[in-house]
Structure 1
Amino acid sequence: MSDGTPPAETSSSPEEVSPPNTGPQDPLQTASATDRMVIEYLRARGHTSAEQALLDALDSGDPDDKGKGPETSTISTEELVKRLAVYAQKPSRPGENVLNDSGNVLQELTTMGNPTNIQNLIASIGAVGAEEILSLDPTDKQDGFTELEAWVDGSLDMYRPEFRPILFPIFCHFYLDLIQSGFKEAALKFFKTFASPLAPAHSATLHHLSTLFLPSHVQNDDLAQRFRNEKYVVRMSRSGFGLLIGWLTEGVGGEATGAGEGFSGERGKRGRAAVMRVVNNHLRFDVTASNTSSVSPNAWEESTGLLSSLIPQANGASANLTNPQVFNSSNGELKLGPAPVPEELRLEAERVLREQAVVERDPSVQYDSFSLRPAVQGVVAPSESDLPPLPPTFKTIDVNREVEKVRDARKRIRLEPSALTSVDLNSPQSGAARARALPSICAYTLHDAGEGAPCSTFSADISLMAAGFAESYIRIWSLKGEKLKGLRSDFQASSIRDSASIQKIREKGGSSTRKLIGHSGPVYSLSFDPLSGSAGPPKYLLSASADATARLWSLDTMTNIVAYRGHQNPVWDIQWNPMGIYFATGSRDRTARLWSTDRTSCLRVYAGHLKDVDCLKFHPNSLYLATGSSDWTARLWDVQRGSCVRVFIGHQGTVSSLAISPDGRYLASAGEDLAINLWDLGSGRRIKKMTGHTASIYSLAFSEESSLLVSGGADWTVRCWDVKGTGGPVVKPRENGSMGNGDSTIVRYGDGDNNETTDLLSTFPTKRTPIINVQFTPRNLCLVAGTYQTPDSR
């Protein structure tokens, strides 16, 4: 990772006072009359989680109140209705309270057969409704967040990126507090007022929270309970943390321009107290020793969030970790170098290359054998014993594949993104620089796709393209215009003697496209087998579907030959291992699985993600498998041991796509937060964050030199990124009248009009076509595919 990411040093939070431990007591015996009635109501209605939460709260209450005996004072009508109403909702309209008025309260409690004293108490209540009581607006949350936002915006430029991440968890807890207390209207007003600035980075979570309207929603929602039960980790420098504590305790520093009396006064104290409660109870600070000015603005959001359940427990650790770097470093060094070529296969490939050199009368061809497996500096290369089991002997197809790799390396177009960094794009030399830096992109557009095509892929030799459709079928096209002829089924096996006899039993007719039918749900992912490489067309195709199966298709017979069952939910992604023998699947059941084509049951189950495994990618040397999940994390797994060896935390949304560089060093991950993160696989640290897309990112691909990254997404664009560039926010000229120390530039943090980072080399727009797949050929031609959306489409 770059020097901008600080190491975590200590964990701090504002000082808290723990109550002394007293002897165990039944909290119901010491509860007030109000609390007892609420507990009886919750117990009768079956709200066990709410009942337990209230009992726990009573049990951990003020120790001075314990032992005083039950409270005998009467309660007000409004208090009772308020306590009861917030726990019920209308079955027909889930967003509304069923106990909207006292008549409903009495009717509901009467049908329950509750004790007579409660019914008599409810019967004496006048015409007062729960909505009238709940409409009272608690202003401490509104005031507290307004003041916190003003303090962050009024802080120095160097501290502002460091302070911004604290706004999101406090916003979430304030909203959940309002909903939990029954203040629905106040919560909606709070959400509408403050959610917009947080939406670009946290749109998925904010949308989820906006669907919670009642305490019952909060109690039954997994994400809300994670916010309640886990500490949200925030990274800060030592000086920044000191400023935050100063503001929370004294209200000093960071006053925005024109703020009048500032944060003093009773309203200011009340708002800061509300923020302090969230900070004390729900946040955990990782304070670093790094200087604020030496840290990249985007680095502060890395390794923040609800981390304790996302990080696997390290070997021998007794407590949950909250720093992913501790886990990553505990797993030791990875073997990221290229996989070795078996000695017999290498010698045979070299022999073929020497023969070709004689035939082509080009002596230099035989020296290309050194590029069979080029060495990668700075990484540990695996040995043959480290690789998954391989067949004991190689075939002619393996030799042809290795020979073609050498030819591809010789004829490959070298892409040099650095050529654009020192050239004025408006100058006459810009055309030559762009030709050196940017790839040629060939786009294939699907028209009249009906319900849509969720996936597509190309074969390595660019002879075939396949697309999976929501109508449960697969279509294959010949990109060379050749007829796709399958083998007939009306033949005797004894009649097959050689390759010539196989050609005789092929279909006479045919077309350049074929339709494969077998799935009973939308097809979400496809993958051609890599056995032939670029030396010839593939023999097999894998597919994954919503019907919870993966299927293997023969491209000789154009039929389904195996169905792999094991997942219990839709299978989102499927990928061949680079060796072509194994493949992996990722599913909604929160697992990834390793399969072999000759077995119908899985070989390994990779479990640990908290939500769907949405995407996966094998490392080029086949030792590791990367997975991306809806829990906002990516993980790297040891393929053979089945254990997680790296965890990557930094996205603020579902991880939708992954790519691993051909040199094995880098992992690129794209998320629903519209950001692409570049990770160093060896250390597990984030190198940089790349932004520019304005809608979901569907696919990523590295160039063969690992110097360029191409992405495609729902914003109808293909974008090219400089992998080696430093990145960071766009630097703009300093405005007239601004004061500085001679520096002529200023970085605009949080500029909402243009979020493109400096490593975005070029953007290629399409005609209303979301790009669902991008991939490079071995010679660095970029192929993309997408489905055209008509103007009247949904």
Structure 2
Amino acid sequence: MLSFLEGHTSEVCACAWSPAGSILASGSGDSMARIWTIADVMSRSSLQNEHSSVVVLKHVKGKTNEKNKDVTTLDWNKFCSAPPASYPSGMGCASCGHVKFKAGSARHGVFRVEGRLLATGSYDGQARIWSTNGKLKSILNKHKGPIFSLKWSKKGDYILTGSVYKTAIVWDVKAEEWKQQFEFHSGPILDVDWRNNVSFATSSSDNMIYVCKFGESHPIKTFSGHQKVVLLFLFSFSSGKKGDMWVSAKHYFVWAKLTVSNGTPTGSLLASCSDDITAKIWSMKQDKYVHDLREHAKEIYTIRWSPTGPGTNNPNKQLLLASASFDTTVKLWDVDQGRLICSLNGHRGPVYSVAFGPNGEYLVSGSLDKSMHIWSLKECKIVKTYPGSGGIFEVCWNKEGNKIAASFADNTVCVLDFRM
């Protein structure tokens, strides 16, 4: 079943599900982000937002400046920044809605993960923090140019931003001020991601990846090896290997859980991809990449880690890396061996976005050919296809695994009700 969410007046370049449930955020070139609350039951022919409510987040007041209006990136907070003792058992945190359960209960000491704050980055160089009811809580203003990437820290107390003007800034969310500015790159910063709550990595058009840490005036690790723009990279926290390893990719990167020798999950895999038609795997123990993935025929636009392997909710499944390319294919990689498992062929245009389902059994891909494919990873084949009326910039899966969202160049957002 499909639902098309209308309201944006320009291409929708970003979308993201809140970990709080059926709440979806979208960002557009119309200077607005929108927060959609999606009903559990959707009509196959819904075209008039019948099964959703929406809050509009205006980033520009009055007449829009065409040169700086785009909402370029967005991210939901996932952890509570307030100390557990700051609110009573059974009550929610005032800032994020996380719940501390009463002593003696089966879930005592467990905090429910809920995305109640949305951070957006914009072409005007400002980062903004919003509540789900549309209230603008903070404006973070120091960058001199467009923000291309933005991420909440693991604990939710900091936000990391990267700008076209070669700087990355860590912001203290509670104090609403910048904590430290990092100026190591010689080109625009295209992606940022956290390793843990005090260290992170940045990638740039200068082909470099730097790992940085609070209080340090120089990078604690430098990776070089890509021959063209490093657009994306992701840290992984899941691996069957002991030690510190990273995989690098083109547009963004994420840390995944890794079971190291002492059993402590730490960000140890980094994935990066580039216009040089490669994705690479790096180790913190060495400067040169561990694996050089070279099966694509054109630029690799994006990569994603599977939610599988030790330290994840699917510990008995193999950790995979997916890469999507302008060559119209998605490829699945064995991370330990650095080898190609299978090539997913079915799109007729560049593939801009991929996302794994939360159980690691399915993958969704979105392409400029206006189609969205859902793949069975067990069989490496398409199980469902959904045509759209515009190129697809981003796809994402909600945490329950029953809804998929896609953002389109024709100004719409599509939500698919997925059950196999």
> Shared fold (TM-score greater than 0.5)?
yes
SS in 2 for 1:468: strand
Q: Does residue 583 of the first structure (1) align with residue 200 of the second (2)?
A: yes
Contact in 2 for aligned 1:541/1:555 (Cα 8 Å): yes
Deviations, residues 268-308 of structure 1 (Å, cap 9, x unaligned): xxxxxxxxxxxxxxxxxxxxxxxxxxxxxxxxxxxxxxxxx
Offset of residue 568 of structure 1: 0.7
State how far apart, in whole Å, the 2-side matches of 1:626 and 1:563 are: 24
Q: Does residue 687 of the first structure (1) align with residue 341 of the second (2)?
A: yes
Offset of residue 442 of structure 1: 9.2
Q: Please name the residue that 2:401 is paired with.
A: 780
Offset of residue 607 of structure 1: 0.8
Q: Please name the residue that 1:710 is paired with.
A: 364
Q: Please name the residue that 1:323 is paired with.
A: none
Q: Does residue 540 of the first structure (1) align with residue 162 of the second (2)?
A: no
State how far apart, in whole Å, the 1-side matches of 2:332 and 2:307 are: 14
Q: Please name the residue that 1:627 is paired with.
A: 272
Q: Identify if the C-alpha distance between structure 1 residues 582 and 779 changes in structure 2 by more than 3 Å, giving closer, same or farther.
A: farther
Q: Which residue identity is paired with 1:570?
A: P
Q: Which residue identity is paired with 2:115?
A: I
Correspondence for 1:613 among 223, 230, 236: 230
Q: Which residue identity is paired with 2:214?
A: T
Q: Which residue identity is paired with 1:566?
A: F
Offset of residue 628 of structure 1: 0.4
User: What aligned pairs does 1:168-179 form with structure 2 within 5 A after superposition?
Assistant: none
Q: Does residue 570 of the first structure (1) align with residue 188 of the second (2)?
A: yes
Q: Identify if the C-alpha distance between structure 1 residues 641 and 518 changes in structure 2 by more than 3 Å, giving closer, same or farther.
A: same
Contact in 2 for aligned 1:655/1:669 (Cα 8 Å): yes
Q: Please name the residue that 1:638 is paired with.
A: 283
* Bigger Rg, which one: 1
Q: Please name the residue that 1:475 is paired with.
A: 128
Q: Identify if the C-alpha distance between structure 1 residues 719 and 515 changes in structure 2 by more than 3 Å, giving closer, same or farther.
A: farther
Correspondence for 2:115 among 459, 462, 467: 462
Contact in 1 for aligned 2:234/2:303 (Cα 8 Å): yes
Q: Please name the residue that 1:553 is paired with.
A: 171
Q: Does residue 698 of the first structure (1) align with residue 352 of the second (2)?
A: yes
Offset of residue 473 of structure 1: 2.1
| Identity within the alignment, % | 26
Contact in 2 for aligned 1:565/1:600 (Cα 8 Å): no
Q: Identify if the C-alpha distance between structure 1 residues 517 and 715 changes in structure 2 by more than 3 Å, giving closer, same or farther.
A: farther
SS in 2 for 1:569: coil
Q: Identify if the C-alpha distance between structure 1 residues 718 and 519 changes in structure 2 by more than 3 Å, giving closer, same or farther.
A: farther
Q: Which residue identity is paired with 2:336?
A: G
SS in 2 for 1:644: coil
Q: Which residue identity is paired with 2:294?
A: I
Give the structure-2-normalised TM-score.
0.60
- Let me know the Cα RMSD of the aligned residues: 3.4
Correspondence for 2:374 among 702, 720, 723: 720
Contact in 2 for aligned 1:611/1:631 (Cα 8 Å): yes
State how far apart, in whole Å, the 2-side matches of 1:558 and 1:651 are: 43
Q: Please name the residue that 1:649 is paired with.
A: 294
Q: Does residue 762 of the first structure (1) align with residue 395 of the second (2)?
A: no
Deviations, residues 25-65 of structure 1 (Å, cap 9, x unaligned): xxxxxxxxxxxxxxxxxxxxxxxxxxxxxxxxxxxxxxxxx
Higher strand proportion, which one? 2
Q: Identify if the C-alpha distance between structure 1 residues 783 and 516 changes in structure 2 by more than 3 Å, giving closer, same or farther.
A: farther
Contact in 2 for aligned 1:669/1:677 (Cα 8 Å): yes
User: What aligned pairs does 1:254-403 form with structure 2 within 5 A after superposition?
Assistant: none
Give the structure-1-normalised TM-score.
0.33
Contact in 1 for aligned 2:351/2:366 (Cα 8 Å): yes
Contact in 2 for aligned 1:541/1:553 (Cα 8 Å): yes
Q: Which residue identity is paired with 1:685?
A: R
State how far apart, in whole Å, the 1-side matches of 2:235 and 2:215 are: 19
Q: Identify if the C-alpha distance between structure 1 residues 530 and 719 changes in structure 2 by more than 3 Å, giving closer, same or farther.
A: farther
State how far apart, in whole Å, the 2-side matches of 1:667 and 1:650 are: 13
Q: Does residue 771 of the first structure (1) align with residue 393 of the second (2)?
A: yes
Runs of 5+ in structure 2 lacking a partner? 1-18, 22-40, 45-50, 59-63, 79-113, 238-257, 259-266, 310-318, 413-420
State how far apart, in whole Å, the 2-side matches of 1:769 and 1:701 are: 16
Runs of 5+ in structure 1 lacking a partner? 1-407, 412-430, 435-440, 483-510, 532-537, 728-758
State how far apart, in whole Å, the 1-side matches of 2:166 and 2:370 are: 30
Q: Please name the residue that 2:149 is paired with.
A: 525
Q: Identify if the C-alpha distance between structure 1 residues 559 and 628 changes in structure 2 by more than 3 Å, giving closer, same or farther.
A: same
Correspondence for 1:661 among 267, 286, 306: 306
Offset of residue 457 of structure 1: 2.5
State how far apart, in whole Å, the 2-side matches of 1:692 and 1:462 are: 34
Q: Please name the residue that 1:453 is paired with.
A: 71
Q: Please name the residue that 2:6 is paired with.
A: none
Offset of residue 614 of structure 1: 0.9
Q: Which residue identity is paired with 2:362?
A: L
Offset of residue 521 of structure 1: 1.8
Q: Which residue identity is paired with 2:302?
A: S
Contact in 1 for aligned 2:125/2:144 (Cα 8 Å): yes
Q: Which residue identity is paired with 1:641?
A: Q
State how far apart, in whole Å, the 2-side matches of 1:775 and 1:663 are: 17
Q: Identify if the C-alpha distance between structure 1 residues 610 and 514 changes in structure 2 by more than 3 Å, giving closer, same or farther.
A: same
Which has the bigger relative contact order, CA under 8 A and spacing at least 6?
2
